[in-house]
Chains A and B, each alone.
Chain A
Amino acid sequence: MKLLGFLPFFALPLAFAATKDIKSQLVSLAATGNCVIRLDASAFDLLTAPNRDWSASIHFTALDKRRRCAPCKEFDPAWNSVAKAWATVPAEQRDNHFFATLDFDEAPTVFQKLNLASAPVVWVYGPTEGPRASARNVPSKYDFSNGFEAEPLAQHLSNHTPIPIPYKAPIDWARWITFISGLLGFALTLRFIAPVLQSRWTWAAITIVTSLTMTGGFMFTRIRGSPYTGADGSWIAGGYQNQFGQEVQVVALIYGTLAFSVVMLTMIVPYQTSPARQRLQVYLWSGVLMLIYSVLVTLFRVKNRGYPFKLLL
C-alpha cells in the first residue's frame, strides 16, 4: 500500500523524462528535415504537447498541385529561408524553438481539428513551462497583411523565439548583375546613343509619356494592385474611387490624342503650304478634338454617375 503512495513520486521524473524524450525526438527530427520538421498528425501532437518548455512555429500549407494554392507556393521559400536562418543559431537556443511544416495532404485531420479553412497559415505555439512560459495557451497567428516576404515574417517570429532570428535578406545577385551590366552597356553605347539623348524630343517623349501615365492613374493601380481587367471581363471599374489597369491605358491614350490634336493645330497646321490642305487639317483635328473629348466625358459619366454634363455623345 505504501508503495502505491510513492508511485506519483516515481511518475514525476518519468514525466520529465518523457518531455525530455519528446524534445530530443524533435531535435533529431529537425536535424533530419533540414531544420524544418515535416509534421503528420502524431508529430503534430508531439510538438504541441501540453507541457512543453519549447516554442514552435508551425506553417500550415497545401503544396500539392491538386490544391491549387498559389499563395502557398509563393510563401514556401520565404518560410524555408527563415527556418534556415534559425539553424545557424547555437544549439542551446535553437533547440528551444522549432520550425515545422504541416501539409494538408499529410494530415487533413489536424486541419479539421484546428478548424482551418485556408492556407497558408502560420501559428506560433508558446512554451507552457520553463522560464519563457507564457500565460496565454492559444497559439498566436501570423498576419499576412505585410505580404509573403521573409523579412516581416522573421521580424514577427523573433518576438517568440528565445533570441531574434538572424535572418538577413540574401543579396540579389541577379539584380545587381543586371544593374551593373546595364550601366556598362549604357556607358559603352553612349557614343552611339548620345545624339538621341541630346535630342530634346527624346526627352519630350519621356516627359509626356510619364505625365500621361501618371495622370491616367497608374500609381493608383500599382499601389492598390488593382487587376488589369475585372473578373467578369469588364475593363472599366465601377465607382469614382476605383479603376482597373486597362483604364490607365485608355485614359492616357485619350489624353494623348487630345493633346496631340492641339499640338497639331498649333505647331503643324500653320506651316502648311497649301490653303486647301490646311483647311482640311483644321477641320480634321477640330473634329478629333470634339469627338474624343465627348468620349472622355462619356467615360467620366460612367465613373461618376452624378455628373450632369455631356457633349456630343
Chain B
Amino acid sequence: MPLHLEIVTPERLAYEDDVDMVLVPGIEGELGILPHHTPLVSLLGVGELKIRKGGTEESFAIVGGFLQVRPDKVVVMAETADLASEIDLERAQEARREAERALESGYHEGADLASARAALQHALLRIRVAERRHREGPRRGG
C-alpha cells in the first residue's frame, strides 16, 4: 500500500502524490514515515524533507511546520516549502547576504533579531538543499 503524501503551505498545495517513504526533519531528529505508521502529530524543525518514490528521490526545504500522520494519508504543514529543483540558488545567496548584513548592522530589537536569524537560517537551508541537488542530480536506481 502506498503512502499518500500532501505538503500544504498557507499559500498553496505544494505537493500531492502517492509515495513509498517520506523522511522529515523532526524537531528531535530525522523521522522516517512508511505506510501503516501509527497516528502521529509532530513538530518539524527547519530542514530538508525527502520523498522516496519508485527509486527516485525528491527533496523540499521546509520551514516552520508540523506533520500529521493519519491512517489514510500523511499531511506536512509548513510555512514555506520549496522544491529543491525550483530553488533559485542566486536568490538564496542574495537572501543570505542580506540576512547577514542585517545581523551585522549592530543593535537589534528582540523581534528584529529573531526574524533576521530566521531569515538567515532559511537562506542557508535553501542553499544547502539546492547545492546538494546540483551536486548529485536527481537520484535514480535503488
Partners in one complex: no
